[in-house]
Structure 1
Amino acid sequence: MPSRGGMRTRGLQATIRGTGTRLGRAVGRTPPSAAVVLAVATAAVFYRLGDRPLWWWDESFYANAAHNAIAGGHWLIPHLAGFDTIHPSPFLEKPPLAIWLEALSIGVFGPTEFAVRAPSAAATVATAVLVFLLGREIRGRGAGLVAAAAFLTTPAVIVGTNAARFGATDSLHTFLGSLLVALVWLHAADRRDVPPALVGGVAAALLLTKGFAAGAFFAALVPLLLVRRGRFSARFVGVATAVTTVAVGWWVAAVYLLVGDYFVEEIFLEPVWHRIVGADAASTSRRTLVPIFEYPYLTRLQSVFRPWWFPFLFGAVVAAVTGRRTPPDGRSGGLSPRFLVWWTAAVFAPFLFFGTKLWYVVPTFVPAALTVGWLVAAAVDGTTAAVATDASGGERGDGWPIRRSAAVVGLVAGTALAALAGPSGRLYAPADGGGVALDPSMPPDLSVLAVVAALCVGARLVSTDGLGPGLLSLPGGLSLDADAFLRALTAGVALVLVLGVLVGTPAVYAAGNGDEPADTDFRHLGETTAAVVPAGERVYVQPNAAARWFYASYEFYADRPMREVPVDRLRTDPDVRYALMTSQGVPIVDDRNPSVVAESSHLDLVLVELGPPAEP
């Protein structure tokens, strides 16, 4: 028997497959080195993507809401079951775009872990390619290669919770926000005439993904809009604003008309305002380097941005000093390294005060990785002016002068500190009496030196014109651009080497993996329920069992409606055939001869099939 909602997915499949065909044609026109980044990133991020169970917190919430969109038609207002209530109810803590994309993915691939995570993984791959292309635009192919490698080997990105390999909102948020900044930056710097409708569309998608958290990216754009305001005509601003307003406003207006103030409470008061004023119950006091900060990001970033945190810090200093001088061509709004420092700070700073989770700052790693790429390229390219690629793929200077010696010193110092931090990546921590204390691991991690050396060589080679013998004639009237081929091969070898050393096999290290008992047990209970309980048959939940656990993950796997009922109904109602109970609660239905279908000692949950009620 087809699963619930299966008939509704057939129309989606044809549409999305057609879109995939068009995307495939676009990929075919991708420059060779960018295509290599695309291929390596896809292999790293999608490797065994669906192996581990759903994480029973955030990931299961979005998966459950996406499944309810497909199965129950809850598209306009996403519905979540198994969190605040057992039955599906409005879920408006986040805008719906990420949920819609997961629902479309489920429509194509079925209700699987892979389908839930595919949109997030695809967004991470797209971000890696964007990082490469933007790094190439800033300082040439070498900068793009190093920046892409730094982004793809950042632990918080590739294996962190709610990042690339999780079905959540943060990877999509990172991609769309970074794309918005990149488009406006390129337009402001006279590198591209970006259509205002495209800017408005990306801004709308960003807002529909993460809501108010998107504000950090808009803050990053402020210097561009002020310094290069001549590039933004009234028509440009008007069209971009109108597209954004219409694309976001219709959903906001429709939902508000349907649920009223509940929407304001869910989308703003609870997730945003309460956190700002300190009413968020999740906020706790932690040891931070600066007492007024909410979360120890400055301490934790050593590990979650390992080993690039210290090269980034030195790169930021070198970039800030470099950016003080006006470039010879007089374009003060060019693709300057100084803007990378601002971009990093703009998307990071708000969460120092209000953030409580590591994944909130994932967008920081895009400009930070670009800064590392810029630093390495500036140290190895042997020129005094930054280089970038024009529309034809050739190198050209963008006029930002830099002393190579400053970049070399910054790279060496940052790499040395990263190596001294050891495998844990921790070099400093809050001191017991206040201030900062050194906390180096022993012995140093020499693999960092090998990785940086490999990237320096790779950056130098891919930036070199004439790497091969030029255009080669092949049998059948074909030809091969040996230069482009060898650069792409060099980029691929460098990326694979660095990923192999720093990341290894992502599925082994992903947070919330199959070794987590709760994740595994919820999948087992849910899949057993789907196999035993007839389709459409309701599963009833013992009251105190419902109070103890979230059931979003269980409901995703079980695909059966649920309801919490009083104990009397469990004992006397003949319509109650299947019940989810605690092990201590099972004896209350002994007179119905309960048969254990599945159980979890870790969760203390038992799924039982009940016989007829005892005769009065």
Structure 2
Amino acid sequence: MGTRDWTGTAKTAVDRLPPLDRASFGPTGAVLAVATAVVFYRLGERPLWWWDESLYANAARNVVDGGHWLIPHLAGFDTIHASPFLEKPPLAIWLEALSIGVFGPTEFAVRVPSALAAVGLTVLVYLVGREVRGRAAGLVAAAVFLSTPAVIVGTNAARFGATDTLHTLFGSLLVSLVWVHATGRRDVSPTLVGGVASALLLTKGFAAGAFFLALLPLPIVHRERFSPRFVGVATAVTTVAVGWWVAAAYLTVGDYFVEEIFLEPVWHRIVGADTAPTSHRTLVPLFEYPYLTNFQSAFRPWWFLFLVGAVVATVTGRRVPPNHGGEGLSPRFLVWWAVAVLAPFLFFGTKMWYIVPTFVPAALTVGWLVATALDGSTATGSTAESTGKHGDRWVTGRAAGRSAAVVGLVTGTALAALAGADGRLYGPGDGGGSLVAPTIPPDWSVLAVVAVLCVGAWLVTADGIEPTSLSLPGGLSLDVDAFVRVLTAGAVLALVVGVLVGAPSVYGAGNGDEPTDTEFRRLGQTTADAVPTGERVYVQPNAAARWFYSGYEFYADRPMREVPVERLRTDSQIRYALMTTQGVPLVNDRNPSVVAESTHLDLVLVELGPPEES
């Protein structure tokens, strides 16, 4: 039942929202709808990727089938049989296991947690952008994030059953909550902050440190907002929620836990132990991986708009969003946020998906740049609101900031166009140093995309659409202004994603292993059909790298064990064997019959007859 305002008029749930939230309720729904359609499109058609995705899927299925909740177990990686898997904390695996419990052991179920996280991230980007610079910034930021190739079709991103998108969601949510609390825009519960921090740490462990680095300036600059109680409650919730699992895991497996969770994935990477040197040439020799070069394609075409936006935000300083009085969210913090979550991986990272968290503040920076450039047309606050305590300084700074943003928007768009269809404008030169290679003629589609964003940003913010209400049959009415905003937001998102990404590919970008993925699924499904439930499949030693089998085991759902060839020849208990093509003649005396084979993988599943009498 609705409450009543001071006039006695009944108020609905939407009416009770603050004015900004009421005005933005529709665009938020449009962002949610489009993001859901984009991310979930044909989500379950692609076979599991035979590396990270199959590992987490295998571990999640072992949670469901074997009850390995406390210590996830993985088969087909270090060992053929299920063994403790502790390279990452278990939250992502738990969520995949819950999804498998609901949807069954399918590719769709494995990917649902990451897909939901990507949708949540898109909505979060819109909401934070709205706080930074109004609805225009939110819409542009959401469109930029949702059309980033590395986010939607990148390996281990939104459409992969892995940890990175969940890690990005929890980390970005944590930074956003603490940020709005620090600046006084919202009073955020410390229990909520501790809960989100716990989810972050339980998803990717020490990699969460990049987000805590991003938070570092906030309690220093806004220390009056972080009372001892706030810090104590948030810390206590995090310590309890994470500490119980750490203690239980250590008590269960001892030093193996320390080796797997810290020494192997973190410490050895930092000191360079057991890590082959990369063959990648980087713009900065000190860096480990060419992120600064690959960003151009992974964040195409927004990388150059982000760069100029970061410069403009840093130079023009703190700005008050057009819809709010008081102290706003500084775009300078967006720049710091992007640098903080990227910097550690510049030195120790070796994969592009490690820096997916950078795309959140980068998209928000582009949204701020566009909204600031359109500031003269999109400001919804009155002149009186803008000329309060700091009125003269605000008016002067607003004009200077808008001029700088217009120059930045034009410059960034021109650079993105010159980068061409692959987004590459610069890279390491053959003789050392950097090589700049603009594309002639430029990619004019970039201009069209930016123009669509600018028009859409203006439409979702501009006032004065008449009539504001339209009567419908049955006593219903339509808020035309709100309807146009929703329609505009949805259309802009759909157009930008359609032009830059298209219908998301069934296969992730950068993953050229489709034949391998398909063959492991086919071979595993054939095994599940042919081998009786519970019957063990025995594996010839060195039939393939052990971690190949994680995807195969997910589909086959049969226990496996590696045994010597001599035992394959003589043990009457062994009925099914997975062997190489060259290995099959070794068991000819058992009259092997081929159940399934893959020339691509050089693997053959055979059913063995009884061994010869000795």
Structures share fold, TM-score greater than 0.5:
yes
Residue aligned with 1:608, SS: strand
Residue aligned with 2:471, SS: strand
Deviation at 1:189, TM superposition (A): 1.2
Q: How does 1:120-269 map to 2 (within 5 A)?
A: 120-269=114-263
Aligned to 1:425: 423
Aligned to 2:560: 562
2:136 and 2:378 map into 1 onto residues whose CA distance is 15
Distance 1:324 1:115, change over 3 A: closer
Aligned to 2:455: 457
Contact 2:331–2:365 (8 Å) recurs in 1: yes
Q: Which amino acid aligns with 2:427?
A: A
Aligned to 2:286: 292
Deviation at 1:324, TM superposition (A): 6.4
1:131 and 1:77 map into 2 onto residues whose CA distance is 34
Distance 1:462 1:543, change over 3 A: same
Distance 1:333 1:214, change over 3 A: farther
Identify the match of residue 70 of structure 1 among 64, 77, 80: 64
Contact 1:76–1:255 (8 Å) recurs in 2: yes
Contact 1:283–1:356 (8 Å) recurs in 2: no
Contact 2:27–2:489 (8 Å) recurs in 1: yes
2:520 and 2:109 map into 1 onto residues whose CA distance is 18
Deviation at 1:376, TM superposition (A): 0.5
Deviation at 1:602, TM superposition (A): 1.1
2:523 and 2:22 map into 1 onto residues whose CA distance is 44
Distance 1:387 1:159, change over 3 A: farther
Residue aligned with 2:467, SS: coil
Deviation at 1:355, TM superposition (A): 0.3
Aligned to 1:532: 530
Deviation at 1:284, TM superposition (A): 1.4
Aligned to 1:22: none
Deviation at 1:334, TM superposition (A): 3.6
2:221 and 2:326 map into 1 onto residues whose CA distance is 8
Normalising by structure 1, we get a TM-score of 0.91
Residue aligned with 1:536, SS: coil
Aligned to 2:109: 115
CA deviation vs aligned residue, 1:537-575 (integer Å, no higher than 9, x gap): 000000121546620000000000000011111001111
Equivalenced residues, count: 583
2:588 and 2:128 map into 1 onto residues whose CA distance is 66
Distance 1:234 1:333, change over 3 A: farther
> Relative to structure 2, which stretch is displaced further, 282-291 or 196-205?
282-291
> Relative to structure 2, which stretch is displaced further, 510-519 or 36-45?
510-519
Distance 1:574 1:460, change over 3 A: same
1:275 and 1:577 map into 2 onto residues whose CA distance is 43
2:479 and 2:122 map into 1 onto residues whose CA distance is 25
Residue aligned with 1:75, SS: coil
> Relative to structure 2, which stretch is displaced further, 518-527 or 547-556?
547-556
Residue aligned with 2:548, SS: coil
Deviation at 1:387, TM superposition (A): 7.2
Contact 2:319–2:331 (8 Å) recurs in 1: no
1:610 and 1:139 map into 2 onto residues whose CA distance is 69
Identify the match of residue 42 of structure 1 among 36, 42, 45: 36
Aligned to 2:408: 410
**1:609 maps to 2:601:** no
Q: How does 1:264-283 map to 2 (within 5 A)?
A: 264-283=258-277
1:59 and 1:599 map into 2 onto residues whose CA distance is 23
1:352 and 1:514 map into 2 onto residues whose CA distance is 25
Contact 2:592–2:607 (8 Å) recurs in 1: yes
Q: Which amino acid aligns with 1:274?
A: H
Distance 1:143 1:84, change over 3 A: same
1:513 and 1:372 map into 2 onto residues whose CA distance is 28
2:40 and 2:251 map into 1 onto residues whose CA distance is 40
Question: How big is the alpha-carbon RMSD for the aligned residues of Structure 1 and Structure 2?
Answer: 2.5
Deviation at 1:246, TM superposition (A): 0.3
Contact 1:52–1:513 (8 Å) recurs in 2: no
1:387 and 1:255 map into 2 onto residues whose CA distance is 54
Aligned to 1:348: 342
Deviation at 1:49, TM superposition (A): 0.4
Deviation at 1:285, TM superposition (A): 3.8
1:570 and 1:387 map into 2 onto residues whose CA distance is 79
2:240 and 2:566 map into 1 onto residues whose CA distance is 52
Q: Which amino acid aligns with 1:188?
A: A
Deviation at 1:444, TM superposition (A): 1.6
Distance 1:458 1:331, change over 3 A: closer
Distance 1:73 1:383, change over 3 A: same
1:360 and 1:154 map into 2 onto residues whose CA distance is 15
Q: How does 1:503-518 map to 2 (within 5 A)?
A: 503-508=501-506, 510-511=508-509, 516-518=514-516
Aligned to 1:582: 580
Residue aligned with 1:382, SS: helix
Normalising by structure 2, we get a TM-score of 0.91
Distance 1:28 1:554, change over 3 A: farther
Q: Which amino acid aligns with 2:443?
A: D
Contact 1:224–1:333 (8 Å) recurs in 2: no
Deviation at 1:403, TM superposition (A): 2.5
Q: Which amino acid aligns with 1:366?
A: V
CA deviation vs aligned residue, 1:410-468 (integer Å, no higher than 9, x gap): 00000001011001100001122322111233432111100000000000110112334
Q: Which amino acid aligns with 2:195?
A: G
1:288 and 1:593 map into 2 onto residues whose CA distance is 56
Identify the match of residue 479 of structure 2 among 468, 481, 498: 481
1:497 and 1:439 map into 2 onto residues whose CA distance is 29
> Relative to structure 2, which stretch is displaced further, 55-64 or 438-447?
438-447
Contact 2:143–2:496 (8 Å) recurs in 1: yes
Aligned to 2:591: 593
Q: Which amino acid aligns with 2:501?
A: V
Structure 2 residue runs of 5 or longer lacking an equivalent are 1-16, 383-390
Q: Which amino acid aligns with 1:545?
A: A
Residue aligned with 2:376, SS: coil
Aligned to 1:315: 309
Residue aligned with 1:479, SS: strand
Aligned to 2:79: 85
Distance 1:29 1:384, change over 3 A: closer
1:125 and 1:486 map into 2 onto residues whose CA distance is 23
Aligned to 1:373: 367
Contact 1:138–1:387 (8 Å) recurs in 2: no
**1:56 maps to 2:39:** no
Deviation at 1:333, TM superposition (A): 6.7
Distance 1:200 1:283, change over 3 A: farther
Deviation at 1:479, TM superposition (A): 2.6
Deviation at 1:405, TM superposition (A): 1.3
Identify the match of residue 467 of structure 1 among 449, 465, 468: 465
Contact 1:539–1:580 (8 Å) recurs in 2: yes
Contact 1:53–1:513 (8 Å) recurs in 2: no
Residue aligned with 2:597, SS: strand
